[in-house]
Structure 1
Amino acid sequence: MSGPRLVLATRNAHKVVELRELLADLGAGVDLDTAVVGVTEFPDVEDVVESEVTFEGNALLKARAVAAATGLPALADDSGLAVDVLGGAPGIFSARWSGRHGDDRANLELLLAQTGDVPTEHLGAQFVCAAALVLPGGDEHVERGVLRGVLDRNPRGTNGFGYDPVFAPEASNGRTLAEYDAAEKNAISHRGRAMRAIAPRLLPLLTP
């Protein structure tokens, strides 16, 4: 069987490459360049409004829509930053916390302003990612990945995006995620952990 076997519900080419690399490391036995594709390979599939109130809910929403539209197994993820003192916010609203979707600088500056008077010892936070696999027959599976750390009020690093410059993982010796290289980040990141957890469910779909 040639052609797509798994659709990643994203238009981000970097996420597709990252998933292929992960599956290759785990011994997937097919040509991953053709077997694992992004939703951009299906131009008629419409974007999904992320209207759920949890990471898991939004990931399932996207995966269900893509599986239904393509007739293929679909994998989706949703992630964000949860700050303890803010009751888990920005959470699912991380990408649009400032009111403008994807404005990393505005989101980061608003978060720092909101926590400006909070003592350092209370700046615990975690990155969360939910990965959802949905099969055309209706079977569903969800895994969660978490990376604990603390907020750092002094943004540092150029390798990350979003809130990476102000998030220092536990046992990082003060380095922010934006100061990690790609391999270091993938090894510990919330998304990497969620994808590695769900990967065993993906491998049977990619068996020759």
Structure 2
Amino acid sequence: MSAGPAPRVVLATHNAGKLRELRRILAALIPGFDERVVVSAGDLGLPDVVEDAVTFDGNALLKARAAARATGLVAVADDSGLTVDVLNGCPGIFSARWSGRHGDDAANNALLLAQLSDIAEEHRGAAFVCAAVMVDAAGQETVKLGRMPGQLLREPRGDDGIGYDPLFLPEGQTLTSAELSPEAKDAISHRGIALRALAPVIAAALA
């Protein structure tokens, strides 16, 4: 029995949802795409990378460079977060640990709501931002950015999102990011925009 194609792209994440999303996007762009050519850093047992850069693209590049060095494969990574207008772009790169505990969505959301409690609706503008990057076998680096503007609500709505999704109403939408279907969210999300921009570069590396 054939073992299938060998992996050729490593997504520098331990997040299975991000891996599924990248595979979906590439499958739509590359005829005959086989999802087995893309694996995650978690699949390969790679350690997490310390994200100590001060920009989204800087942190994404740290992860992609480390994965490319460790595997010799084309490496893809992303870094993303929420930027709030009245907080001068914060939480930004600190989005996942805004409350002081990394990945505590409930605490992060509660703190953000408290900080904005006296802010009127017309000043609750925000945006999700994503930097998606690729580092190829020759060390060539490509960076693509995606942005989803919107507004922050006063209480969470929806159960399907992660992070600040239940508080975020994308521009032009009546549903929060946590209420949208995965397909509807992919079509407008910061990560979807950035990965679709990067996908042709990945496709060329696979050609």
The normalised TM-score by structure 2 is 0.95
The separation in 2 between residues aligned to 1:107 and 1:91, in whole angstroms, is 12
The residue that corresponds to 1:38 in the other structure is 40
Q: Deviations over 1:152-184 (max 9, x none)?
A: 0121111111101111011113x2111111111
- 1:30 Cα deviation (Å)? 3.9
The separation in 1 between residues aligned to 2:168 and 2:87, in whole angstroms, is 15
The separation in 2 between residues aligned to 1:72 and 1:28, in whole angstroms, is 21
The separation in 2 between residues aligned to 1:176 and 1:196, in whole angstroms, is 22
The separation in 1 between residues aligned to 2:31 and 2:200, in whole angstroms, is 10
Q: Which runs of 5+ in 1 are unaligned?
A: none
Percent identity reads: 58
One-letter identity of the residue aligned with 2:11:
L
The separation in 2 between residues aligned to 1:122 and 1:107, in whole angstroms, is 20
- The 1:204–1:29 alpha-carbon spacing in structure 2 relative to 1, beyond 3 Å, is farther
Q: Deviations over 1:51-76 (max 9, x none)?
A: 00000000001000000111111000
8 Å Cα contact 2:136/2:205 also seen in 1: no
The separation in 2 between residues aligned to 1:13 and 1:67, in whole angstroms, is 19
The residue that corresponds to 2:133 in the other structure is 132
The separation in 2 between residues aligned to 1:41 and 1:171, in whole angstroms, is 38
Q: Which runs of 5+ in 2 are unaligned?
A: none
The residue that corresponds to 1:111 in the other structure is 112
Give runs of ≥4 in structure 1 deviating > 6 Å: none
Equivalent residue pairs, number:
204
The residue that corresponds to 2:189 in the other structure is 189
SS class of match (2:73): coil
The normalised TM-score by structure 1 is 0.95
The residue that corresponds to 1:13 in the other structure is 16
